[in-house]
Amino acid sequence: MGTSTFMKLEIESLSENESFARVVVAAFAARLDPTLEEISDIKTAVSEAVTNAIIHAYEDRVGLISVRAYIDGNVLTVEVEDWGVGIEDVEKARQPLYTSKPELERSGMGFTIMENFMDKLTVRSAPGQGTLVTMVKEIRSKSRVKEY
């Protein structure tokens, strides 16, 4: 008997899919027995990445967003990929408070939140080609903590 270690979800870049994407990833991560706080962290980070793909990558058009998650031991890896406008300067984009869309009441905190709520964040992007956001989080689950 094996345990599933991979999932993939493809969605259109519509705002109603934000809650769908974060709930699916959280349900997948549930097999690692995360705490409520860890579930909340994962949901928030996924929501940030998917929302960025909807708002920034595709702007006014509808494109595809791929959400993938992997489990290796007690480590969860989440990838959110789009094939939208891409990011010219990733280092600048990742800085707290940087936003290219202040007029939309964005505050430039998305990447900072992903960094804080997950253990590791990698952003690969090319202008005109798209963006791949990879987030890694070790789950220090309730039951495992008790075992030691």
Partner 1 sequence: MKIEMEQHRAVLLVRLTGELDHHHAEQMREQVDREIARHPSRAVLFNLRGLTFMDSSGVGALLGRYRKIDAAGGRVAVCEVPDAISRITEISGLARIIPFFNREADALRYLLLGVPSKRRL
- Judged by beta carbon distances under 5 to 8 A according to partner kind, the member of Mg ion, partner 1, ligand ATP, none in contact with residue 84 is ligand ATP
Q: Annotated catalytic sites, by residue? A: 48, 52, 106
Which CB atom, from 13 or from 52, has the smaller least distance to Mg ion?
52
Tell me the two tokens of residue 85: 């406008």
Quick check: 134 binds partner 1 (CB under 8 A)?
Answer: no
For CA atoms 139, 140, 143, 147, give the dihedral sign.
positive
CB 109 within 8 A of CB 97: yes
- Number of C-beta neighbours around residue 33 at 10 A: 15
- Number of C-beta neighbours around residue 84 at 10 A: 24
CB 86 within 8 A of CB 56: no
CB 40 within 8 A of CB 124: no
- Judged by beta carbon distances under 5 to 8 A according to partner kind, the member of partner 1, ligand ATP, Mg ion, none in contact with residue 40 is partner 1
Residues within the interface to partner 1 (CB under 8 A): 15-16, 18-19, 22, 36-37, 40-41, 43-44, 47-48, 51, 54-55, 104-107, 109-110, 112-113, 116-117
Residues within the interface to ligand ATP (CB under 6 A): 48, 52-53, 56-57, 82, 84-87, 93, 98-101, 106-111, 131
Residues within the interface to Mg ion (CB under 5 A): 52, 110
